[in-house]
Amino acid sequence: MHIHILGICGTFMGGVAALAREAGHRVTGCDAGVYPPMSDQLRALGIDLIEGFGADQLALKPDVFVVGNVVSRARLPDGQPKFPLMEAILDSGARYTSGPQWLAEHVLHGRHVLAVAGTHGKTTTTAMLAWILDQAGLKPGFLVGGVPLNFGVSARLGGGSAFVIEADEYDTAFFDKRSKFVHYRPRTAVLNNLEFDHADIFASLADIERQFHHLLRTVPAQGRVVSNGGDEALERVLAQGCWSELRRFGPVLADFIAEGEPGDFSVLAYGQAVGQVRWGLTGVHNQNNALAAIAAAEHLGVAPADAALALGGFLSPRRRMEVRGQVGGVTVYDDFAHHPTAIRTTLDGLRRQLDRQPGESRILAVFEPRSNTMKLGTMAAQLPAALKDADLAFCHVGGLGWDAAAALAPMGERGRTAEAIKPLVAQVLAAAKPGDHIVCMSNGSFGGVHELLLAGLAAKG
């Protein structure tokens, strides 16, 4: 089969492309801004990439066009279509489908799907679960919204019956407004947490809760739902109906709980101590991610003790508190956090770790409100609380339609803003001193801020 993927350089669609190629299909694709590292990864797999969405690509005549949710029926100011190829596909009557639908029909069907959903921690928990199953000899397939360092790739078919997938609640395509995860039909569903997000497509938290319940409706009676027992929104979702075996993790009285610090803790399953997790990860959020992965793996017969032992060798995916370098005693991290809760938990985890070390260490948070939700200013008022563990916070405010300086005003001199990357970097370099930890947080490339900071620190001497 020849498939041509529209929006192939996105993390999810790039994963679909890799899986299709591994399965023996001919894969081509297009995107706007075809650049490394995704372009290099795809070309290394023998996938031809085309820059842009020109209508001339219709001449490729693939068996099916696979459409990413970056594609729309939008028009440019001059009235021309933003995606001419999509218009040509519709006009010609050519066959097209969405990425999640193609994945469900050609990869997931007939396999034991383990889907990891939630506002936060999906990528990390998916990678943890895939690693546990791999170490148990189950040879799982997986599709992760990042690159797990344990595997070095974001997706693989796997040789076993299990397939672990990051289950996103964002909509499927312009012609299918259901959440992506509704297509996956999991036998094991992990519900990590649930908050309001994606203000560009959801009007309220209740709207997202409804989509999560649609996911629950697809889990069979012999399946398992693993849910965060401390999350009120998830409890409301479960109250709408749950027809599968239910296991809770997190707080006291849950089926799976943790005792100890996030970097070294005991795992209790059903009231009994069953294992110990010792690793290099920080934060209570990662402790909860571990419990979720252990509870999900148990559904496939992996003993919690073995799962806990496997996590001792787990490495975070790229861009999850990834150390990009250390110069002059200053450490620079790259993190994907962009929602206020993710920012707060990331900084809290680092603060806990630093407080256990001798000497005084400052945290300098450098972030950009880049997600659609943050660009709308929906959660601007939550930023000062999210940044409470930062000694200084630097916000890139270019292109925002709301006043970030006013939002950070409660932080006083600790909160600073800049309209462009270079002035932002200059502010950070002027403030940085040996022993500092600079955490750069964005769900985009952030203008190469990490390399600029490291180069500036080196020049500073």
Percent of the chain with pLDDT over 70: 98
Token readout for 456 is 């500036």
Q: 413-440 burial, b if ≥16 CB within 10 A, otherwise e?
A: ebbbbbeebeebbebbbeebeeebbbbb
Q: Are residues 370 and 276 in the same domain?
A: no
Q: Is 316 within the bounds of a domain?
A: no
At 259 the pLDDT is 94
Q: Where among 45, 70, 98 does a domain terminate?
A: 98
Q: Is the pLDDT of residue 224 over 90?
A: yes
Write down the mean pLDDT value for the chain: 90
Query: What range defines the domain where residue 59 resides?
Result: 2-98
Q: Can you tell me the distance from the alpha carbon of 180 to that of 7, in angstroms, rounded to the nearest whole number?
A: 15
Q: Are residues 142 and 274 in the same domain?
A: yes
Q: Is 105 within the bounds of a domain?
A: no
Q: Is 251 within the bounds of a domain?
A: yes
Q: Where among 45, 67, 98 does a domain terminate?
A: 98
Q: Is 104 within the bounds of a domain?
A: no
Q: Is 239 within the bounds of a domain?
A: yes
At 299 the pLDDT is 98
At 271 the pLDDT is 92
Q: Where among 311, 346, 366 does a domain terminate?
A: 311
Q: Are residues 336 and 382 in the same domain?
A: yes
Query: Does residue 33 or residue 1 have the better pLDDT?
Result: 1
Angle between helices 122-135 and 304-311 (to 10 degrees): 110
Instruction: Judge whether 334 and 319 are in contact, CB under 8 Å.
Output: yes
At 405 the pLDDT is 83
Residue 295, SS3 per DSSP: helix
Q: Are residues 82 and 131 in the same domain?
A: no
Q: Is the pLDDT of residue 302 over 80?
A: yes
Q: Is the pLDDT of residue 377 over 80?
A: no
Q: Can you tell me the distance from the alpha carbon of 26 to that of 414, in angstroms, rounded to the nearest whole number?
A: 53
CATH assignment of the domain containing 51: 3.40.50.720
Q: Is 227 within the bounds of a domain?
A: yes
**pLDDT tens digit string along 116-150?**
999 888 999 999 999 999 999 999 999 998 788 88
In total, the chain counts a number of residues equal to: 461
Token readout for 439 is 């955490």
Q: Is 317 within the bounds of a domain?
A: no
Q: What is the pTM of this model?
A: 0.82
**Residue partners of 377: CB distance under 8 A and separation at least 6:** 369, 400, 401, 402, 407
**pLDDT tens digit string along 9-41?**
988 999 999 999 999 999 999 999 776 667 777
Highest mean pLDDT among 95-99, 413-417, 456-460: 95-99
How many domains is the chain built from? 3
Q: Are residues 64 and 124 in the same domain?
A: no
pLDDT confidence of 370, banded at 50, 70, 90?
confident
Q: Please report, in range form, the residues annotated as the binding site.
A: 118-124
* Mean local confidence (pLDDT), 449-459: 85
**pLDDT tens digit string along 311-366?**
999 987 777 778 888 888 889 988 877 778 888 888 888 888 888 788 788 999 99
Q: Is 216 within the bounds of a domain?
A: yes
Q: DSSP for 316-339?
A: PBTTSSEEEEEETTEEEEEE---S
Q: Are residues 304 and 363 in the same domain?
A: no
* Mean local confidence (pLDDT), 281-292: 90
Q: Please report, in range form, the residues annotated as the binding site for ATP.
A: 118-124
Q: Are residues 339 and 215 in the same domain?
A: no
At 375 the pLDDT is 65
CA separation, residue 73 to residues 171, 173, 305 (Å): 15, 11, 51
CATH assignment of the domain containing 424: 3.90.190.20
Q: Can you tell me the distance from the alpha carbon of 411 to that of 393, in angstroms, rounded to the nearest whole number?
A: 9
Q: Is the pLDDT of residue 373 over 70?
A: no
Query: Does residue 258 or residue 329 have the better pLDDT?
Result: 258
Question: Closest Cα to residue 223, out of 270, 178, 191, 264?
Answer: 191
Strand partners, 247: 226
Residue 267, SS3 per DSSP: strand
Q: Are residues 296 and 359 in the same domain?
A: no
